[in-house]
Structure 1
Amino acid sequence: MERTASTSSKDLIARTRPFAAQDTARSLWALGSTYAALVGAVVLAVAAPWWPLRIVGGLIEALVLIRCFILFHDAMHGALLPKSRWAKALFQVQGLLTLTPARIWNDTHNHHHANTARIAADSAGTFVTWTTDQWRKATGAERLGYVVERHPVTQLFGYFTAFLYSLCLQPFVKNPKRYWTSGLAFGVHVALSAAVWHFFGLGVYLTAFVGPLFAAYALGTYLFYAQHNFDEVAILPEASWNHADAALEASSYMRFGPVMEWFTGNIGYHHVHHLNPRIPFYRLPEAMASIPELQGPHITTLTLKDIVGCLRLNLWDPALKRMVRYRDVQVAPGT
């Protein structure tokens, strides 16, 4: 039987709709200033006369790449310049160059939004989360696969695991007709990588190409993981699942300072974004400040304590109604 959202859920979503109206001038400024910052960072990473400055340029480039991704992300949700043909073409090209081809991104990310906090749903577009009972019943090989997918090393190497493999190589191999753009993105990336190394040398390759990409995708992969995997997260029973509760109970508010809010495009307001993904990133703080129900979120940070705590939580215990560690679950010998 098809389940419908509660009246309160529908009402809360309706109250976010005024904030889903974009300001075209503000969107254009965000786009222009972000790309200008990216060019400046790349120039610093390539041409600074002192190599420590090149490393600084590369780190700034990595952070600006995250903001570039947020612009792409919002455009795919229809929240940024949705009626502009040139903007659509621009973001299609950006997606190819940054290993997020539009088709595979939309297919997996829209699935993620529609199924956040649902154990029964397919894990496409997100990190799989098992219940303690699923862990007990799984084979050793299945458990190993689960551990590897959620392991910190997998997130650290998100450039290869989440982007080159999961968004490009894997979908192209599985369905080349539908995901030909994923294959194109992979090929273009390999060609660009070889060209940068050949024409500019190993130093520039490390400081301005692979280094920033590695750092950006490691942080981006962790942010995606952490904003749905934290101490107070709630995985909702299927019978009582609704979109608003999933947004508020299974998406965090990651508290940043103003500088990191700029670089991350306000993605820390993740509970607001999940409630209504058509709100442009620059209006998320406004929506949170205006709607009382959004002002008591589950808060996470990038402090070492929160990061370690987040990475240690891996299984949902329905009885305790919280995430637990692997070692907290008793498994029969030999299973």
Structure 2
Amino acid sequence: MPVQPLRRCDFQLEAFRSPDDRIAFWQLLNTHVPTAVLWACVQPLAQAGSGLRLLLLPVLVLLVLFSARSFALMHDCGHDSLFRSRWLNRPVGFLLGCLNAIPQHPWARGHAFHHQHNGNWDRYRGPSALLTRNAYLALAPRQRWLYGLSRHPLMLLPGGGYYLLIRPRLQLLQGLAEWLSAMAAHLGSRGVSGVVDLPALSRDFQSSHWYTAGECRELVANNVVVLSSWWLMGAWLGHGLFWACYLLVMTLSAAIFLCIFFVQHNFEGSYASGSDGWSYLRGALEGSSNLDVPPLLNWFWADISFHSIHHLCERIPNYRLRACHTANAERLATSRLLRLADFSTCFTYILWVDEAGRLITLKQA
């Protein structure tokens, strides 16, 4: 009998879709209570003698890992999968976004677009968007070098710091500048009488840095909370100590989840399609890798290592991904499995060839 191609309905997914609020609350507690305790240890250890001061290093390492786990829980809220109800996922997601210094609602919208088009490199416009081979070969030598540098693993560090700490603040400032320019232009054309139109114009204003009024409100609210928390943490710990530790923790935790995202979609043999003929199922099974990493890392990463299942059904909560993956193990046999030693190789696959439907390296180009 000929082998029939897999369909989404061939997978056991529905039995694993139901969130459990008790597990979700426990995950919040076992992530953020230790985080608070670790931050409370920073100042006493920094002021201790040289021997005890060395304990600050493992404290910072744990803060990096717990911060990455907090981001993973925020990610689940964006899929409305951590809790049963949207009215819980939204406010918890907002608070987790504040803890991670990034507006959760706009981030979740962009991440949902990634899920809707995974494997379609024509449509993807995220932080790891790739050029086609032909577009790369058309670049000048210096531009090719800069493109290769921008995808180097070491760029995860400045990229991670920018992604969490600078970009959300910059988006708000740039959006406000666009709004002020639009309001000033209206007053310039209508004069003082145009003041009465400003509230309506503001409600209908469209910025290139947010898509809806709800995203604008969340961007403003997130920045208010984040900037206030930075000032309060600095007043508590001392601004020098706080920023020295905070910059390290946030930069490294952002680098971790950017790295995970990259290697789970950029690897040898990964499905790479244009818009014509793109397949959602192939994007999930062939364009998403699963990770074979130590169990402790899987805990801090909230089991996002089981990524093919996550792309088949993003409404499965993180605490059911492992069981769902196990139940569908035979059907996932062709999905790529990566180990930590494979990660560095993934960063070489930074071009895609539409006609071949695959990713290639600069050397192959």
Q: Which moved more, 1:263-272 or 1:44-53?
A: 44-53
One-letter amino acid of the structure 1 residue matched with residue 162 of structure 2: T
Equivalent residue number for residue 24 of structure 2: 27
CA contact (8 A) 2:77 2:92 kept: no
In structure 2, relative to structure 1, the CA distance for the partners of 1:106 and 1:84 (3 Å cut) is: closer
Which residue of 335, 343, 347 corresponds with 1:307?
A: 343
Report the number of matched residues.
319
Equivalent residue number for residue 151 of structure 2: 150
CA deviation digits over 1:97-155, x for unaligned, max 9?
312312211221011111111122141x4511222122123466865674454233431
Matches of 2:119 and 2:166 in 1, distance apart?
25
Matches of 1:68 and 1:315 in 2, distance apart?
31
1:226 aligns with 2:263: yes
Q: How big is the alpha-carbon RMSD for the aligned residues of Structure 1 and Structure 2?
A: 2.8
Equivalent residue number for residue 175 of structure 1: 209
SS of the residue 2:7 aligns to: helix
SS of the residue 1:179 aligns to: helix
Matches of 1:32 and 1:252 in 2, distance apart?
29
Equivalent residue number for residue 248 of structure 1: 285
Matches of 2:89 and 2:312 in 1, distance apart?
25
Identity rate of aligned residues, in percent?
21
1:59 aligns with 2:61: yes
Unmatched 5+ residue regions in structure 1?
Answer: 1-5, 330-335
What is the deviation of 1:67?
Answer: 1.1
SS of the residue 1:315 aligns to: strand
In structure 2, relative to structure 1, the CA distance for the partners of 1:171 and 1:200 (3 Å cut) is: closer
SS of the residue 1:100 aligns to: coil
1:71 aligns with 2:73: yes
Matches of 1:7 and 1:320 in 2, distance apart?
20
One-letter amino acid of the structure 1 residue matched with residue 318 of structure 2: F
1:101 aligns with 2:103: yes
Q: Which moved more, 1:100-109 or 1:274-283?
A: 100-109
Which residue of 240, 258, 281 corresponds with 2:295?
A: 258
Alignment of 1:1-335 (within 5 A): 8-12=6-10, 15-48=12-45, 49=48, 50-83=52-85, 85-86=87-88, 88-123=90-125, 125-138=126-139, 143=144, 146-147=147-148, 149-170=150-171, 173=174, 174-175=208-209, 178-186=215-223, 188-201=225-238, 202-207=240-245, 209-291=246-328, 292-303=330-341, 306-318=342-354, 322-329=358-365
SS of the residue 1:254 aligns to: strand
Equivalent residue number for residue 203 of structure 2: none
In structure 2, relative to structure 1, the CA distance for the partners of 1:73 and 1:302 (3 Å cut) is: same
In structure 2, relative to structure 1, the CA distance for the partners of 1:274 and 1:105 (3 Å cut) is: same
Unmatched 5+ residue regions in structure 2?
Answer: 175-207
TM-score (norm 1): 0.84
In structure 2, relative to structure 1, the CA distance for the partners of 1:301 and 1:175 (3 Å cut) is: same
